[in-house]
Amino acid sequence: MEKPVYVEVPSELMDVLGVRDVKSLERHFRLLLALDLYMSGKISLGKAAELAGISYDEFWDELRRRGLKLRVGPKTIEEAEREYEAVREHARK
């Protein structure tokens, strides 16, 4: 079971980001964190989508919408296996 971590955020930041409630703020930060970790090569596309709480296709679309390039190819066998499992899981849905 995941143990939640709580972070204090100034309420003014919610206004700047255009979010109205804490749940929207959480989704926004999860997406930004996932994008950052994916682009820095620390996690795979499938893991980034999972972290963001969206589908593989939605994460891919988010990358394109933001003008970010898809990282090509896994860097390790383990990353290739995680990518493969993420695609298999997505195909089952």
Distance CA 72, CA 41 (A): 10
44-60 burial code (b ≥16 CB/10 A, e <16):
bbbbbbbbbebebeebe
Over residues 29-87, the pLDDT tens digits come to 999 999 999 999 888 888 999 999 999 899 999 999 999 988 766 667 887 788 788 88
Single pTM value for the model: 0.70
61-73 burial code (b ≥16 CB/10 A, e <16):
ebbeeeeeeebee
